[in-house]
Structure 1
Amino acid sequence: MPIPVAIGAFAIIPCNDLPSALPFWERLGFDRTGGDDDYIIMTGLGCEVHLTQAGKGPWSVPSEHNPFGIFIRMPDVASVAARVEDLIIRPGGVLRHREWGLYEVGIHGPDGLLVRIGWPSRHMRNNDADTPT
């Protein structure tokens, strides 16, 4: 699959073990669309994520307290949450409407990466359902 032509801002996420991070992103719904051994471009869920091999020592990702995170805005939050039910951060990350106006889920990613997926609550049917309008 070729890299799509798109305008946007795309996260670059360092990974301590780049090859082992790929199955996580594939499970979310991403496909590898470019890159090489140390830099991989993944496309899916209407966006693009760039994964890069982290360095050693002070350049590695502190997986116990990873300071990195990514927010993916897409309407079908519930179906992605169902695919990764075992990775949902509990209790705080469960799929629900948040006070800041998003219907979202928090997922534990590779190296302790916080992955939040959500959609504006006002665009969800009946504001209690998991179906986008």
Structure 2
Amino acid sequence: MPIPETTGAFAIVPHNDLSGAIPFWERLGFARTGGDSAYIIMTGWGCEVHLTQAGAGPWRGPEKHNPFGVFIRTPDVDAIAVLVDDLVVRPGGVLRHREWGLYEVGICGPDGMLVRIGWPSRLMQGPAAAGSNPG
């Protein structure tokens, strides 16, 4: 699958075990579309994430208090959450409309990285729209 023609800002995420992180992103619905053995480009849900091997010593990703995070903005919040229900951060990560106007869920990713998936509450349709907050 070739790298798609997209515009936007994309996260470059270091992982302590790059090859071990790929199955996580695949579970989220991403597919490898480019890169090499040390830099992997994955696309899915209209988004792109770039994965790289974290370094050693001070360049290793802190697993206990990882400051890195990725936000995936897509209307398919519910569909993705079902794929990784066992990784949802609870109690705060349950699917809900947040006070800042997003319907979202939090997922625990590789190396303790937070992955949030969300979409503007005002744009949600179907059952998720029922609890919509103004935003």
Q: TM-score, normalised by structure 1?
A: 0.94
User: SS where residue 63 of structure 1 aligns?
Assistant: coil
Q: Which residue matches 2:118?
A: 118
The separation in 2 between residues aligned to 1:49 and 1:14, in whole angstroms, is: 11
1:56 aligns with 2:59: no
1:128 aligns with 2:126: no
The separation in 1 between residues aligned to 2:125 and 2:2, in whole angstroms, is: 34
Q: Which residue matches 1:65?
A: 65
Gaps of 5+ in 1: none
Matches within 5 A, 1:1-133: 1-125=1-125, 127-128=129-130
The separation in 2 between residues aligned to 1:8 and 1:123, in whole angstroms, is: 20
Q: Which amino acid aligns with 2:38?
A: D
The separation in 2 between residues aligned to 1:93 and 1:81, in whole angstroms, is: 10
Task: Return the offset for 1:129.
Answer: 6.3
After superposition, the CA RMSD in angstroms is: 1.3
The separation in 1 between residues aligned to 2:131 and 2:102, in whole angstroms, is: 13
Q: Which amino acid aligns with 1:105?
A: V
Aligned length: 130
Gaps of 5+ in 2: none
Q: TM-score, normalised by structure 2?
A: 0.93
**1:65-124 C-alpha deviation (Å, 9 max, x unpaired):** 000001110001001001100000000111111111100000000001100000000011
The separation in 1 between residues aligned to 2:131 and 2:34, in whole angstroms, is: 36
Moved over 3 A (4+): none
Query: Residues 27 and 129 of structure 1: is their aligned pair in 2 closer, same or farther, counting only changes over 3 Å?
Result: farther
